[in-house]
Amino acid sequence: MFISNVHAQVVRYSEVIEKEEQEQIRVIGTLKAYQKANIAISESGLVTEVFVNDGDYVKKR
């Protein structure tokens, strides 16, 4: 005769979903720009609207 004190355990599961993840790497150091751009204006004035966000890729027309 075999006697055991093992109790049943609840097993939880969920459906597998596919999604894109961004890889993140944390480091300590100095961040330097890959390229620099000098921007100058020929007219004085007030900037009232900006059509790009930080990190957006822009190119020359």
pLDDT, tens digit, 9 for 90 and up, residues 21-46: 888 888 899 878 888 888 777 888 88
Distance, C-alpha 12 to centroid of its chain = 30
Report field, pTM of the whole predicted structure over 0.95? no
| pLDDT reading at 2 higher than 60 | no
In terms of average pLDDT, the best of 14-18, 36-40, 49-53 is: 49-53
More confident residue, 3 or 12: 12
- Distant-in-sequence, close-in-space partners of 52: CB < 8 Å, separation ≥ 6: 58
| pLDDT reading at 51 higher than 80 | yes
Distance, C-alpha 49 to centroid of its chain = 25
**Which amino acid does the sequence have at 34?**
Y
